[in-house]
Amino acid sequence: MGPGAPAATRVVVLAGGLSHERDVSLRSGRRVAEALRESGAEVEVRDMDADLLRVLRDDRPDCVVPLLHGETGEDGAVREVLELVGLPYVGSRPSACRAAFDKPVAKAVVQRAGIHTPVGVTLPHETFRELGAAAVMEAIIASVGLPLFVKPARGGSALGCTAVREASALASAMVGAFAYGDTALVERFVEGIEVAVPVVDTGAGARALPVVSIEPDGGVYDYTARYTAGSTRFEVPAKLPDVLAAECARVAVLAHDTLGLRDLSRSDLIIDADGTVWFLEVNVAPGLTETSTVPLSVGAAGLDLGDLVADLVRAAMVRSTQPASPTTGADPS
């Protein structure tokens, strides 16, 4: 890793936005801004508003670090605009963001690469309603079985996610998922050890950081468990046999590469009782708050968060001076 950003580097951290994850984004932004300043960069934190594009064009920073969570920050649209105005930024290209943010698409892509992912069904709200909710839920339980896990097809921070162990609980779980999006993903619930695996690439190829195991007090790693200090127990490096830790790292890097991601991602996985590693989802703008798993993993790797982000900034600036390469990323078809 490099010594940090040169003192002259001017960085704009984008945080906030209008998604349900605004507060998490603001917390991530504050933490990264502070860490980057300690590494020697000049940093400004800006929210999403009507003046943002004008400010970025009139007083161009050396690099932008998008830390917007939720649909407005992770569907690639903001990065598409940054490319339109020719600003270097940390993170994946828009096309890769779109594939990764759509959980059913991401699952289909990584499954073709040989990664295990729970069987499930994707249901738009309109289809669920028009075909008759009761009949659809009966068919889901008959086909996929119980227990189930229901979540919005697009979204993060476990908002709208529910574990369903009894058939009678499925209806309310569907309502909860549809409250955060028009489409729900219903998967077979895999019992096991939940882990998070960050993947970073500062220019020498993608590599996994130490695996973080997650044990929430309430048994479900929901929004409260993620962002309330002390409500979840983390182990990093996770207390896993070396072969399992290596398999988690392999799956995370393979998912990162298969989806055409770059710079930083975090894969959420489950290890079942047989030692099979199951891919749940990948995040292209993982939380970097004081309770988030990525900073824990960064620290366990012996790295400094500010220096790591500074290295990603440097790599983005170098990338912007190179000839444009063909757009990479997963083909969801």
CB neighbourhood size of 207 (10 A): 15
Q: How long a stretch of residues is the chain? A: 333
Q: Catalytic residue numbers?
A: 21, 157, 227, 266, 268, 281, 283, 287
Q: How far apart are the first and last CA of the chain?
A: 37
CA dist 223 and 28 (Å) reads: 15
**Alpha carbons within 13 A on the beta-carbon side of 23:** 8
For residue 297, the one-letter residue type is S
Burial-class residue 327 by CB neighbours within 10 Å (0-12, 13-18, 19+): exposed
DSSP string of 8-32? T-EEEEE---SSTTHHHHHHHHHHH
For residue 78, the one-letter residue type is V
| Helix boundaries (H) for 233-304 | 242-258, 293-300
CA dist 298 and 64 (Å) reads: 21
For residue 118, the one-letter residue type is P
